[in-house]
Amino acid sequence: MAQVGIVPDTIVPADIDETPKPGELPAQLAARLAFEKALYVSENTANEANMLVLAADTVVSIGRRILPKTETRDAAHDCLTALSGRGHRVSTGVCLFAEGACVAKRLVTSRVRMKTLDAHDIETYLASGEWRGKAGGYAIQGKAARFVTRIVGSYSAIVGLPVFETVAMLSGVGFTVTEDGEDNGS
């Protein structure tokens, strides 16, 4: 958001269970987690007048298979091996709360294709540590960019927050940003 002049007053982690529900599809999971995160923060912070709560979550999938947010080197290795030479989807849900209620939701799904990764590619990337906590075990905005052969959709959504859609949601509730980055409307 900083690249478009929006800097949040506070960043509050949402302590929620991110386990997929039985039969839940990847895009549904991304949308649900964004909503639950926004709800959690809204319910667990002092609701000030005109306070906006924005939450997002990104899910990487191959077909219906949801890849984890990798916490271990083995999990990251498994994700990179699965993604090697294949296309996959990245679904990012965004939810905006105002005055304790959901006022806007968006879901952006993009397609990404990776080159076939050899053992050296995978080991070099794992050594970077960049995979930690990343959906699907990679960060497209970092060293993994060299593996991506094609993107169809929103690059910023793959990074983790679809900027165009988020700004549109904020504009929809009267939040505007001037060139100097100051809120001009809420």
Give 10-residue mean pLDDT values along the chain (186 residues): 84 93 97 97 82 95 97 98 98 94 96 98 98 96 97 96 94 79 48
The CA angle 171-172-176, to the nearest 5 degrees, is: 20
In which region does residue 11 sit, left (phi positive, over 0), alpha (psi from -120 to 50) or beta (all else)?
beta
Alpha-carbon span 37 to 56, nearest angstrom: 8
* Domains along the sequence of the chain with CATH: 2-172 (3.90.950.10)
Nearest Cα neighbor of 8 from 53, 57, 58 is: 53
What's the pLDDT at 22?
A: 96
What's the pLDDT at 7?
A: 85
Q: Which residue has the tokens 């039985």?
A: 22
What's the pLDDT at 178?
A: 63
What's the pLDDT at 179?
A: 60
Its pTM surpasses 0.85: yes
Task: Count Cα neighbours of 153 within 13 Å in the Cβ-side half-sphere.
Answer: 21
What's the pLDDT at 186?
A: 44
**9 catalytic, yes or no?**
no
Give me the catalytic one of 9, 17, 57, 118: 57
